Amino acid sequence: MATLANMTMNILELDNLTYSWPKRQQLSIDIEHFALQQGQKLFIKGPSGSGKSTLLNLLTGIIPANSGSSIKVLGQQLCEMSGARRDKFRADHIGYIFQQFNLIPYLSVIDNVLLPCRFSSSRADRVAADPKQQARKLLSKLKLSDMDILTPVSALSIGQQQRVAAARALIGSPELIIADEPSSALDHDTRSAFIELLMQECQSSGATLIFVSHDPSLESLFDRSVQLQDINLQGVTQ
Amino acid sequence: MKTIALLTWKSINNRRSSALLTVFTVAISMLLLLGVERIRTQAKDSFANTISNTDLIVGARSGEVNLLLYSVFRIGNATNNIDWQSYQKLAGQADVKWSIPISLGDSHRGFRVMGTNTDYFKFYQYGNRQALQFDSGQPFAQLFDTVIGADVARKLGYSVGSKIIIAHGISDKSFTRHDNLPFKVVGILAPTGTPVDKTVHLSLAAIEALHSGWNPAGNVGTSKNQHQPTFHPEQITAFMLGLKSKIKTFSVQRKINNYPTEPLTAIMPGVALHQLWSMMSIAEQALLAISGFVVVAGLLGMLSCLLTSLQERRREMAILRAMGARPGHIFALLVAEATLITAAGISLGVSFLYLLLAAIAPLINSRFGISIESASISTHELKLIVTVLLGGMLIGLIPAFRAYRQSLADGMTIRI
């Protein structure tokens, strides 16, 4: 069955991934091998300075890795793509949630959610029938009321903002969702609720989730957990 | 492209008040630039249209500009007069087609009085070879007849048949006011937009009568047809010549300039007008330069506004990058903002210009006799507009480039 084949496919494969910031000798990322299967929910933990941001910038193709590195996402080699193609690839296949301040203040909740569809035609195609309806559906699944949807984004609580951001990451069903400490600004109760909702939605859209945090208490919620220092041979960026 | 346009619009809309202020700054600088430009060109046109188809103007020896100023613009005074005999001799040359003698030096309630003959109404031309036209009445025929310009009639409320008093000398407060010599308005000229509108025309004989000390107090006003002594002019201030052939202009000019009996100067009006205008062009250029600098200041205001906003928008840029925006998109976003603000400023400035022109054109026309038309945008003005727009886009490249570099450096790291 196709689904079975998909299950065993690696969505992410890193080989000999190295990165050093411009004008610096020392490597800040040095990962020999790492693979992640499609549909998995991965928890990456690491203290600040362990290279989390750098790794995420590499995975999303924002910065190019050193030569000789291999980053395969969905079987495609990011290291061979031009900057523009990496940007398009990111738009098409990756949903991203920031730690906080996720939303563009001058766009409405719906426009914020639909933003990825403006940069990716393939994600736009997947919601083509009625993008706004699709956005509303996602938002209501993430427990945002119709009232919340009409509120200016700056008037939403942080928890609500993060849920809007989750809806934005999920719209158009990208294969990979990357969340960079999205719950660190939330209090304990909201945090678990948020993560559960996020996981549910990843499950139902079949997306793989990479969740980065320094909070070890969340670890148990995930299929798989790695300590960044364990895979990154150059654990310290300072 | 559509995305950038939408984001640009929403982002500017979000910073409405500061964006509006910037738009206003650009609009006002644009208004000033176009306004100065328009007044400059129209004043120049109006100026060049003051006299037409006259080949030579002759007066007592003086500077060209001085002669032009008093003979055509009624500004200043002649250094000396021309003997009537000299005029008759020079105007009688074979090459001369027509001549208009003029005699200046008197005023009527702030308007200059000019003595001439009826050839003036026949041959004097302004604008694009337009002859003088009568709004009402006819040229003077009797000694105490007068023909007035359109402005004189309007300002002083005269009509054909009005009785007026002419003073000797320029000032209205003149002690030697000839208030016992009433003249009668027999004709009113159609408006020309030239100093003719502000002139009271008499016959040369009437000017002579004014100055001869002849006192007709008992006669005038009782009976018109009474015998009047005939006055022959002895001197005039200047005269205008039309030649049979333009080719002769230089030789006639030379002959007049070398006239042995008295020192005279003959000028070609076009050349003198040009000379006069270039004297004024320093002020005109300075004005244009100042309005140019105001535009630069306006655009720099926009630059500072965009640069200030950039710091607080780093987060927004990072979000857009994470959503798949290319650095080029970020660049385009800022250039589009600068372009939109400049374009809006220009449109607003142009609208202001037309509103202002509609409001003040009548005022300027009545005050200075310069007719400002609400003509459509000229090619030259279009060039200015495009230059300002390009300037705005060019200035937009600065924050755009900075945002581009920032978004490359920041990546998806949100800095607050």
CB–CB of B391/B44 below 8 Å?
A: no
Neighbours of B311 (CB within 10 A): 12
pLDDT band for position B398 (cuts 50, 70, 90): very high
Whether B359 and chain A come into contact, CB under 8 Å, resolves to: no
Query: What digits encode the pLDDT tens for the residues A159-189?
Result: 888 889 999 998 988 999 998 888 877 888 7
pLDDT band for position B170 (cuts 50, 70, 90): low
**Alpha carbon A95 to chain centroid distance?**
5
Higher pLDDT, residue A56 or A237: A56
State the pLDDT at residue B346: 95
Phi, psi of B200 (to 5 degrees): -105, 120
Q: What is the mean pLDDT of chain A?
A: 84
State the pLDDT at residue A52: 82
pLDDT band for position A3 (cuts 50, 70, 90): very low
Query: What digits encode the pLDDT tens for the residues A89-106?
Result: 998 999 988 887 788 888
Instruction: Among A53, A99, A118, select the one facing B3 at the smallest CB separation.
Output: A118
Most confidently predicted of A143-147, B46-50, B250-254: B250-254
CB–CB of B100/B119 below 8 Å?
A: yes
* Least Cα separation, residue A154 to chain B (angstroms): 12
For A93, nearest residue in chain B (alpha carbons): B324
* Least Cα separation, residue B346 to chain A (angstroms): 25
State the pLDDT at residue A2: 44
Query: What digits encode the pLDDT tens for the residues B62-89?
Result: 888 899 999 998 888 888 899 999 999 9
ipTM of the complex: 0.85
Residues of B in contact with A91 (CB under 8 A): 323-325
Inform me whether the pLDDT recorded for A120 exceeds 90.
no
Whether B270 and chain A come into contact, CB under 8 Å, resolves to: no
Provide the pairing of β-strand B177-189 with B163-168.
antiparallel
Whether B289 and chain A come into contact, CB under 8 Å, resolves to: no
Per-residue CA distances from A55 to A19, A217, B270, B411 (Å): 9, 22, 79, 12
Mutate to test the interface with A, among B13, B16, B319, B414 (most CBs of A within 10 A): B319
Contact B14 A119 (CB under 8 A): no
Looking up tokens 């494969």 gives A13
* Least Cα separation, residue A155 to chain B (angstroms): 14
Mutate to test the interface with B, among A52, A98, A102 (most CBs of B within 10 A): A98
Inform me whether the pLDDT recorded for A238 exceeds 50.
no
Residues of A in contact with B10 (CB under 8 A): 106-107, 111
Inform me whether the pLDDT recorded for A236 exceeds 60.
no
* Least Cα separation, residue A90 to chain B (angstroms): 6
Q: How many CB pairs under 8 A join A and B?
A: 74
Query: What digits encode the pLDDT tens for the residues A52-86?
Result: 888 888 888 888 888 888 888 888 888 888 888 88
Does the predicted TM-score (pTM) go above 0.95?
A: no
Mean pLDDT of A125-130: 83
- In B14-33, the residues whose Cβ lies within 8 Å of chain A are 14-15
State the pLDDT at residue A1: 41
Residues of A in contact with B3 (CB under 8 A): 118-119
Query: Residue B199 half-sphere exposure, CB side, CA atoms within 13 Å?
Result: 26
pLDDT band for position B213 (cuts 50, 70, 90): low
Mean pLDDT of B108-112: 87
> Rounded to the nearest 5 degrees, what angle is found at the Cα of B225, between the Cα atoms of B219 and B229?
65
State the pLDDT at residue B181: 64
Residues of B in contact with A103 (CB under 8 A): 319
pLDDT band for position A232 (cuts 50, 70, 90): confident
Q: State the distance between the two ends of chain A, measured CA to CA, in whole angstroms.
A: 48
For B407, nearest residue in chain A (alpha carbons): A62
| C-alpha span between B29 and A53 (Å, rounded) | 46
How much of chain A, in percent, has pLDDT values that exceed 90? 7
CB environment A147-159: b (16+ within 10 A), e (fewer): ebbeeebeebeeb
Q: What is the mean pLDDT of chain B?
A: 84
State the pLDDT at residue B222: 37
State the pLDDT at residue B338: 92
CB–CB of B411/B327 below 8 Å?
A: no
| C-alpha span between B236 and B16 (Å, rounded) | 68
Inform me whether the pLDDT recorded for B368 exceeds 70.
no
Query: What digits encode the pLDDT tens for the residues B279-313?
Result: 888 888 888 888 889 899 989 988 998 888 888 78
Whether B409 and chain A come into contact, CB under 8 Å, resolves to: no
pLDDT band for position B192 (cuts 50, 70, 90): confident
State the pLDDT at residue B169: 59
Mean pLDDT of B125-152: 89
Instruction: Among B328, B412, B416, select the one facing A62 at the smallest CB separation.
Output: B412
Mutate to test the interface with B, among A94, A115, A164 (most CBs of B within 10 A): A115
State the pLDDT at residue A194: 85
State the pLDDT at residue B210: 79
User: Lowest-pLDDT range, A97-111, B27-41, B202-216, B336-350?
Assistant: B202-216
Inform me whether the pLDDT recorded for B214 exceeds 60.
no
Mean pLDDT of B229-242: 85
Per-residue CA distances from B413 to A79, A130, A163, A174, B307 (Å): 21, 32, 20, 21, 20
For B16, nearest residue in chain A (alpha carbons): A106
State the pLDDT at residue B24: 93
Residues of A in contact with B318 (CB under 8 A): 98
DSSP characters over B324-356: T--HHHHHHHHHHHHHHHHHHHHHHHHHHHHHH
Contact B319 A120 (CB under 8 A): no
Mean pLDDT of B8-14: 87
Architecture of domain A40-65+92-231: 3-Layer(aba) Sandwich (3.40)
